[in-house]
């Protein structure tokens, strides 16, 4: 037992070394010092309070999305449409804001309504993918991808059409809301403790949902063996839809936070790719909720730390994506190699 | 072509699937290979056709020359072609393309020539196949004809047919037999693998019987049917004391039920099952009993008739409705259909209880699991993952998952692959349920098991269903004949 | 709009569809062999960048295209290794590669941003280009567009008219049946995944050295093309000719969006450019819906003539994926 665990660890360590090795080679071939690059990324994310606050700003939506994806992965579904669900959350949040901006209601109430609206928006968008799968026979990967494009197109339509800024519409998004409609932020930072709390509460709830409830247990049964779950009396397709709804709501919350706490308006790329990044986090942690916080934090730190690179080292900030991808890829490959070895041994 | 098999052994892990098989098949013979499911026929034929390799020390000698067959492609190069029970063809493709696929030749396909070859072969054997039509529109019999043509065109001098008469019509069977006799006259060796006595008697000049992985006897035409049955099913065992627990009340009644799937059609089934009664379904695999059983659980749709359960009409209802009314189905494929690999025993027991709360009551779950594990004698702890258990323990776990109260249990091969101790244990548990008034319908390929535990027996043969037979008034011989398609006039 | 400008516009559609044509052909081959190459979106970006960088440094367009194809083949090799040899989820590996290759292209392409490099120009074909209508449409294109035409024909011929192509058809359906006919399924899967990957890789330089010459990083507008190509592959029902038709339809719709925009100035241009995407979902729905059980059950309720009509319609639209798509093959 212990030996198997050590072996497991060795494979994971090897994956880590291979990932950093590969990225180092890429850096050297780009004429940069790997050590400098890693150092700058670290300083760029943990070098000051302001920088770490930015890491947390990125951490919140990533954590929310990851929490949602843990549910769909548990149900055996590849919810690649999560990106569009984030976008739809942002759209509906903005819509609710616009609806009540002039109402004279208490801003706090409006903020809550807007975020709830975002969650509903994300959930509905996810449910559409779920219905396409259940009743249309469209695989959730392709349905989800299509829904992502539609969501993005819709954002752009709104920004350049009905919701355009007074004067000229541009890629810089809709007119920002007044400050009092923002989730309260820490002084001089973009970080909202409320948003951070929302993210942490979400992952804790999902952890318990999956580990400690009958619902989570049934969901896992559906994900691991659809047929046997049905024979055990679980209404399988309904559980698939539930998982889409939950994931969509959390992704929608991520989009809502982007609007309500970070940008205060709708942007063409409001999701910042957190949907896809969340899929990577979920794969890297092998779908175990317990690891979501540290890994999402690491990925957020890589994203923020790499913002430094163009200024300090004239390197593109997409290095973070390369490093994240290399980590996931090598972990997957080493896992495959490990299974292959076990099989050969038996 | 003459084939000689010498000292063929094959192990799959601990299972000894072929034990020291020695057999000589003369050139141009039609050799029957008979045996029950699991007797080792398929393994032997897979070895001969290169699909798997025998253990070292085994020898295959072709026309006096020792050969090694590493792959099916090798086998066909040596002139050995095999017709698989589930035809290995390409349903969405045209016949001519199926015919062409794998034939040697230049880069470009010559459809015109292929059509001519196809037509010539089809004419020679009198097969009415349209090369332009698609394989998924063909019957199983026609797909066999296509495969035979392809193998002969590839130069096969030995033709192995695995259960070829399953799922084909009587007319197609006649056609097939005529073809095989013609081939034999052209000194092509035919190996005919079957469990159907009648077919082997009608077609094969010689037959070898396998049982439990061993070659238990060789016979030559004309045959004595009784001798066959004895060889196939072993000596008739004396049955232990058995008592019927059947009561008066009806649980399930089928009224003129008709069923259909891609392979088989079943018509006009009438059956009344009483509380506490055990019904055994006998027949070779794929004869219709699996479809019948799934229909009794609401898992296969009926195309006619009524299914009534304790006076309520459940025709066309889903399995979940049946389940709510007290029907449980236990499939044979344990890890594929019945259990969830990756979940542990406790989680299975919890799921089966359909708890209504929100949070898992861990202590209660563990207590429940510990109880069930003890009362069903399962070797494993509450937290053992289901796939880590042995087959016998998985089967006990399945039984432990049955709900209470329960009125009808449907089981596919409840004791297949289990040791005798497990078998006795499992039937003990099932009989307890009967005592509580549950009826049981089960499928088994073990005739002794069927005779031992059933009150009444239905025999299935190619979609035909016999009238219920009283277990006390029949024998392994009679059942064996019925399963093999003989003696149906009075069944 | 005069006939002349219409013709030139349509000729432009044929040219601008060329990269997508390569991508859908490559994916079709790979999926026919049973391997989903989900990395396509990243592969196209990386090969666009790599192709441009090589062409810029060597001043050879030819080497640029070669580099693109090699990059595509290399990424496909990883997909094949992970799915065929290690038997890992094709979706997971492909998805990771899609994101990683995209970011890698931005990272490595940074120094090449906005540079002017070599660009493929049109090579009218003597005599043929003077033909009315056809000449303008087909014979005044650049070399890579000609190659896209030829590729459609070649891939189609390979799949439907050659012996190895027949084996390829069978491989996606029932690998075991290919195996008993002497085919080495896993080796062939490697070959076709890599060849398909090379075709996908050609799509990159077809953008960066021809249609949208140059490398513009994140604003290249190439992010997303690969996902579209994936949808078009399904729309194409794994038939190269139908897939190519899908690519042309997509390019045509995009062009139509631009044309309409000059007429309806109040609709933002970005919206019309993305209009094909929702249409793609609808087509996917129509392509798939005929495969679902409830539709069959609904059809059974309709009166006879209507039922026949709808059944025919659905069957014509329907495309079933290769039965063994995504499933690893092991000989017993």
Angle subtended by helix axes C225-235 and C276-289, to nearest 10: 30
- Rounded to an integer, the average pLDDT of A207-231 is 94
Those residues with Cβ within 8 angstroms of residue B88's Cβ, 6 or more apart along the chain or in another chain: B147, C174, C176, C177, C180
Does any CB of chain B come closer than 8 Å to the CB of residue A290? Answer: no
Nearest alpha carbon to residue A184 among A92, A96, A260: A260
B185/B273 same-domain check: no
**Is there a domain that residue B395 lies in?**
yes
Q: B401 and A232 in contact by Cβ < 8 A?
A: yes
- Rounded to an integer, the average pLDDT of A238-256 is 97
- Rounded to an integer, the average pLDDT of A62-82 is 96
Nearest alpha carbon to residue C32 among C280, C199, C180: C199
Structure tokens at B143: 């797909």
**Percentage of chain A modeled with pLDDT above 90:** 66
**How far is Cα A172 from Cα A176, in angstroms, rounded to an integer?**
10
pLDDT digits (tens, 9 = 90+) for A143-201: 898 888 889 888 988 888 888 888 776 778 888 888 888 888 888 888 999 999 999 99
**Is there a domain that residue B339 lies in?**
no
B292/B379 same-domain check: no
- Chain A's closest residue to B352, CA to CA, is A232
**How far is Cα C155 from Cα C168, in angstroms, rounded to an integer?**
11
**How far is Cα B436 from Cα B484, in angstroms, rounded to an integer?**
36
Contact call for residues A115 and A96 (beta carbons, < 8 A): no
B36/B139 same-domain check: yes
- Chain A's closest residue to B334, CA to CA, is A228
Q: B93 and C161 in contact by Cβ < 8 A?
A: no
**How far is Cα B308 from Cα B313, in angstroms, rounded to an integer?**
4
HSE, CB side, 13 Å, CA atoms: give it for residue B106.
7
Nearest alpha carbon to residue A226 among B402, B337, B347, B348: B337
Lowest mean pLDDT among A137-141, A221-225, B484-488, C185-189: B484-488
- Chain C's closest residue to A340, CA to CA, is C86
**How far is Cα B19 from Cα B191, in angstroms, rounded to an integer?**
19
pLDDT reported for residue C324:
82
pLDDT reported for residue B27:
92
A28, A125, A283, A322: best mutation site toward chain C, by most C Cβ within 10 Å?
Answer: A322
Does any CB of chain A come closer than 8 Å to the CB of residue B383? Answer: no
Residues on chain A touching C86 (C-beta within 8 angstroms): 333, 336-337, 339-340
Last residue in a domain, options B233, B265, B280: B233
- pLDDT averaged per 10 residues in sequence order, chain B, 491 residues: 91 82 93 82 90 88 91 91 88 91 88 92 89 84 90 93 78 88 93 85 92 88 80 58 76 89 82 93 84 91 87 89 93 87 93 88 91 88 87 86 90 79 83 91 86 91 88 84 76 53
Last residue in a domain, options B233, B256, B279: B233
- Here the contacts of B381-385 (C-beta below 8 Å, separation 24 or greater) are B381/B345, B382/B344, B382/B345, B382/B346, B383/B344, B383/B345, B383/B346, B384/B344, B384/B345, B385/B341, B385/B342, B385/B343, B385/B344
HSE, CB side, 13 Å, CA atoms: give it for residue A117.
19
pLDDT reported for residue A312:
87
Q: A233 and B336 in contact by Cβ < 8 A?
A: no
B384/B408 same-domain check: no
B392/B412 same-domain check: no
Contact call for residues B105 and C166 (beta carbons, < 8 A): no
Computed over every residue of chain C, the mean pLDDT equals 88
**How far is Cα C259 from Cα B240, in angstroms, rounded to an integer?**
88
DSSP H helices, chain A, are: 2-29, 34-46, 49-74, 82-100, 107-136, 140-160, 193-212, 214-224, 226-231, 236-257, 274-284, 292-305, 308-313, 319-345
Helix (H, G, I), strand (E, B) or coil at B235: coil
Looking up residue B107, the CATH number of its domain turns out to be: 3.40.50.300
Helix (H, G, I), strand (E, B) or coil at B249: coil
- For residue B222, whether the previous peptide bond is cis, meaning omega lies within 30 degrees of 0, is yes
pLDDT digits (tens, 9 = 90+) for A285-308: 988 888 999 999 999 999 999 998
Computed over every residue of chain A, the mean pLDDT equals 91
- Sign for the CA dihedral angle at B220, B222, B226, B228 comes to positive
Task: Match 């349209």 to its residue by tokens.
Answer: B130
Write b or e for each residue in B224-255: b if 16 or more Cβ atoms lie within 10 A of its Cβ, otherwise e.
ebeebbbbbbeeeeeeeeeebbbeeebbbbbb
Domain of residue B47: give its range.
3-233
Residues on chain C touching A156 (C-beta within 8 angstroms): 268, 270-271, 274
Task: Match 């035909």 to its residue by tokens.
Answer: B464
Q: Report the first-to-last Cα separation within chain A, whole angstroms.
A: 16
Those residues with Cβ within 8 angstroms of residue B356's Cβ, 6 or more apart along the chain or in another chain: none
Residue C322's pLDDT band (cuts 50, 70, 90): confident
Residue B458's beta-bridge partner residues? B281
pLDDT reported for residue A253:
97
**Is there a domain that residue B167 lies in?**
yes
**Is there a domain that residue B429 lies in?**
yes
**Is there a domain that residue B204 lies in?**
yes
DSSP single-letter state for residue A306: T
B92, B300, B318: best mutation site toward chain C, by most C Cβ within 10 Å?
Answer: B92
User: Where in chain A are the domains?
Assistant: 58-289
**Is there a domain that residue B212 lies in?**
yes
B366/B256 same-domain check: no
DSSP single-letter state for residue C216: -
Beta strand residue intervals within B277-413, DSSP E: 278-282, 302-309, 312-313, 327-330, 408-412
Contact call for residues B35 and B207 (beta carbons, < 8 A): no
Q: A217 and B351 in contact by Cβ < 8 A?
A: yes
Size of interface A-B (CB pairs under 8 A): 62
Q: How many domains does chain B have?
A: 3
Nearest alpha carbon to residue B274 among B411, B434, B406: B434
B249/B216 same-domain check: no
Contact call for residues B289 and B283 (beta carbons, < 8 A): yes
- Sign for the CA dihedral angle at C327, C328, C330, C332 comes to negative
B302/B384 same-domain check: no
Q: Report the first-to-last Cα separation within chain B, whole angstroms.
A: 42
- Sign for the CA dihedral angle at C287, C288, C292, C295 comes to negative
Q: What is the ipTM of this complex?
A: 0.92
From the list B331, B337, B343, which residue is nearest A224 (CB)? B343
**Is there a domain that residue B332 lies in?**
no
Q: What is the dihedral of CA C162, C165, C169, C171, to 10 degrees?
A: 130
Those residues with Cβ within 8 angstroms of residue B439's Cβ, 6 or more apart along the chain or in another chain: B251, B252, B273, B274, B275, B276, B277, B278, B279, B407, B408, B409
Task: Match 């432990």 to its residue by tokens.
Answer: B400
- Chain B's closest residue to A218, CA to CA, is B351
Last residue in a domain, options B386, B402, B418: B402
Give the H/E segment covering residue C45.
helix C40-58
B250/B396 same-domain check: no
Furthest-apart CA atoms within chain A: distance in Å: 71
pLDDT reported for residue B237:
44
- For residue C229, whether the previous peptide bond is cis, meaning omega lies within 30 degrees of 0, is no
Q: C163 and B76 in contact by Cβ < 8 A?
A: no
**Is there a domain that residue B29 lies in?**
yes
B72/B197 same-domain check: yes
**How far is Cα C148 from Cα C150, in angstroms, rounded to an integer?**
5
Q: A322 and C107 in contact by Cβ < 8 A?
A: yes
pLDDT reported for residue C315:
67
Write b or e for each residue in B270-301: b if 16 or more Cβ atoms lie within 10 A of its Cβ, otherwise e.
ebebbbbbbbbbbbbbbbbbbbbbbbbbbbbe
Q: A161 and C271 in contact by Cβ < 8 A?
A: yes
How many angstroms away from the CA of A285 is the closest CA of chain C?
13
pLDDT digits (tens, 9 = 90+) for C43-96: 999 999 999 999 999 999 999 999 999 999 999 999 999 999 999 999 999 999
Residues on chain C touching A326 (C-beta within 8 angstroms): 100
From the list A212, A224, A229, which residue is nearest B360 (CB)? A212
Does any CB of chain B come closer than 8 Å to the CB of residue C161? Answer: yes
**How far is Cα C182 from Cα B417, in angstroms, rounded to an integer?**
33
Indicate whether C279 pLDDT > 80.
no
**How far is Cα C37 from Cα C41, in angstroms, rounded to an integer?**
10
pLDDT reported for residue A194:
94
Q: C332 and B105 in contact by Cβ < 8 A?
A: no
Residue C21's beta-bridge partner residues? none
């Amino acid at each position: 037992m212990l030996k198997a665990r050590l072996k497991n660890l060795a494979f994971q360590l090897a994956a880590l070394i291979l990932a950093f090795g590969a990225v180092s080679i890429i850096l050297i071939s780009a004429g940069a010092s790997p050590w400098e690059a890693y150092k700058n990324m670290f300083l760029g994310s943990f070098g000051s309070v302001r920088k770490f606050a930015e890491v947390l700003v990125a951490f919140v939506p990533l954590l929310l999305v990851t929490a949602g994806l843990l549910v769909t992965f548990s149900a055996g579904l590849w919810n690649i449409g999560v990106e569009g669900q984030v976008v739809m959350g942002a759209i509906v949040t903005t819509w609710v804001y616009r609806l009540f901006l002039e109402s004279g209601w208490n801003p706090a109430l409006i903020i809550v309504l807007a975020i709830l609206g975002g969650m509903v928006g994300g959930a509905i968008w996810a449910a559409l993918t779920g219905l396409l799968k259940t009743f249309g026979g469209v695989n959730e990967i392709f349905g989800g991808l299509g829904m992502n494009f539609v969501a993005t197109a819709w954002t752009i339509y709104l920004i350049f059409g009905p919701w355009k800024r007074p004067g000229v519409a541009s890629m810089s998004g809709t007119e920002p809301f007044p400050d009092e409609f923002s989730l309260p932020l820490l002084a001089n930072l973009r970080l909202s403790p409320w948003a951070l709390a929302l993210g942490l509460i979400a992952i804790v709830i999902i952890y318990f949902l999956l580990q400690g409830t009958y619902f989570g247990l049934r969901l896992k049964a559906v994900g691991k063996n659809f047929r046997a779950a049905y024979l055990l009396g679980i209404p399988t397709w309904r559980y698939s839809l539930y998982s889409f709804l939950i994931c969509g709501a959390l992704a929608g919350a991520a989009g809502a936070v982007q609007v309500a706490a970070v940008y205060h308006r709708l942007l063409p790329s409001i999701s910042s790719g957190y949907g896809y990044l969340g899929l990577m986090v979920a794969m890297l942690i092998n779908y175990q909720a317990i690891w979501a916080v540290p890994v999402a934090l690491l990925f957020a730190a890589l994203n923020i730390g790499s913002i430094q690179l163009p200024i300090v080292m004239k390197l593109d900030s997409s290095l973070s994506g390369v490093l994240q991808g290399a980590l996931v890829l090598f972990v997957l490959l080493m896992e495959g190699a490990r299974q292959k070895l076990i099989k050969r041994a038996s | 072509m003459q084939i000689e098999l010498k000292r063929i052994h094959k192990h799959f892990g601990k299972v000894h699937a072929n034990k020291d098989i020695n057999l000589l098949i003369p050139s141009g013979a039609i050799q029957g290979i008979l045996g029950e499911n699991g007797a080792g026929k398929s393994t032997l034929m897979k070895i001969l056709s290169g699909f798997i390799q025998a253990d070292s020390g085994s020898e295959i000698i072709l026309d006096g020359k020792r050969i090694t067959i590493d792959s099916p492609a090798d086998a066909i190069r040596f002139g050995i072609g095999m017709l698989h029970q589930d035809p290995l063809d390409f349903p969405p493709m045209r016949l001519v393309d199926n015919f062409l696929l794998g034939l040697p030749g230049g880069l470009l396909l010559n459809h015109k020539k292929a059509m001519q070859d196809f037509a010539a072969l089809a004419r020679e054997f009198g097969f009415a196949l349209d090369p332009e039509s698609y394989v998924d529109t063909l019957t199983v019999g026609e797909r066999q004809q296509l495969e035979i043509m392809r193998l002969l065109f590839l130069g096969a001098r030995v033709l192995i047919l695995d259960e070829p008469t399953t799922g084909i019509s009587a007319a197609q069977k006649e056609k097939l037999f005529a073809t095989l006799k013609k081939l034999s006259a052209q000194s092509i060796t035919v190996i005919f693998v079957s469990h159907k006595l009648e077919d082997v008697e009608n077609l094969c000049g010689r037959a070898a019987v396998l049982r439990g992985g061993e070659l238990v006897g060789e016979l030559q035409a004309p045959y004595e049917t009784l001798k066959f049955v004895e060889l196939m099913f072993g000596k008739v065992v004396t049955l232990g004391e058995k008592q019927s627990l059947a009561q008066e009340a009806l649980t399930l009644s089928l009224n003129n039920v008709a069923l259909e799937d891609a392979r088989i059609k079943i018509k006009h089934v009438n059956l009344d099952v009483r509380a506490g009664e055990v019904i055994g379904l006998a027949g070779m695999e794929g004869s219709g009993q699996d479809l019948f059983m799934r229909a009794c659980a609401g898992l296969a749709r009926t195309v006619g008739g009524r299914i009534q359960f304790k006076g309520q009409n459940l025709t066309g209802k889903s399995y979940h409705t049946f389940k709510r009314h007290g029907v449980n189905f236990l499939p044979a494929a344990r890890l594929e259909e019945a259990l969830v690999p990756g979940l542990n025993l406790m989680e299975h027991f919890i799921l089966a209880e359909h708890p209504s709360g929100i949070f898992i009551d861990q202590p209660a779950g563990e207590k429940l699991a510990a109880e069930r594990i003890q009362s069903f004698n399962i070797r494993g702890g509450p937290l053992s993952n289901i796939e880590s258990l042995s087959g016998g323990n998985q089967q006990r776990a399945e039984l432990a998952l049955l709900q209470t109260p329960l009125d009808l249990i449907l089981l596919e091969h409840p004791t297949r692959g289990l040791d005798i101790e497990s078998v006795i244990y499992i039937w003990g548990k099932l009989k307890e349920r009967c005592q509580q008034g549950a009826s049981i319908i089960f499928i088994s390929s073990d005739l002794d098991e069927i005779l031992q535990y059933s009150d009444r027996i239905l025999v299935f043969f190619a979609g035909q269903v016999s009238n219920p037979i009283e277990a006390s008034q029949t024998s392994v011989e009679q059942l064996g004949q019925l399963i093999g398609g003989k003696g149906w006039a009075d069944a | 709009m005069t006939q002349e400008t219409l013709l030139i516009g349509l000729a432009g559609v044929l040219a601008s569809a060329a990269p997508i044509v390569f991508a859908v052909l490559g994916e079709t081959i790979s999926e026919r062999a049973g391997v989903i190459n989900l990395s396509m979106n990243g592969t196209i970006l990386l090969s666009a960048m790599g192709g441009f960088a090589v062409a810029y440094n060597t001043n050879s367009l030819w080497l640029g295209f070669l580099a693109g194809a090699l990059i595509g083949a290399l990424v496909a090799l990883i997909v094949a290794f992970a799915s065929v040899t290690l038997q890992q989820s094709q979706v997971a590996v492909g998805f990771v590669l899609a994101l990683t290759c995209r970011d890698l292209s931005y990272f490595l392409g940074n120094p090449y941003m906005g540079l002017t490099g070599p660009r493929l120009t049109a090579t009218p074909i003597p005599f043929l280009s003077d033909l009315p209508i056809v000449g303008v449409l087909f014979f005044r294109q650049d070399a890579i567009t000609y190659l896209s035409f030829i590729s459609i024909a070649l891939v189609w011929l390979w799949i439907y008219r050659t012996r190895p192509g027949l084996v390829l058809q069978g491989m996606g359906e029932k690998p075991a049946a290919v195996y008993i006919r002497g085919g080495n399924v896993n080796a062939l899967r490697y070959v076709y995944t890599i060849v398909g990957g090379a075709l996908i890789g050609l799509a990159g330089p077809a953008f960066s050295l021809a249609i949208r010459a140059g490398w513009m990083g994140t604003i290249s507008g190439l992010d997303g093309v690969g996902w579209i190509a994936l949808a078009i592959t399904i729309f194409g029902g794994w038939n190269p000719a139908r897939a190519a038709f899908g690519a042309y339809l997509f390019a045509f719709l995009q062009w139509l969006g631009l044309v309409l925009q000059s007429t309806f100035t109040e609709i933002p241009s970005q919206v019309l450019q993305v209009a094909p995407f929702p249409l793609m979902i609808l087509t996917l729905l129509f392509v798939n819906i005929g495969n679902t059980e409830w539709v069959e059950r609904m059809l059974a309720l309709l009166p006879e003539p209507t039922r026949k009509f709808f059944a025919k319609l659905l069957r014509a639209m329907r495309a079933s994926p290769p039965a063994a798509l995504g499933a690893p093959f092991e000989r017993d």
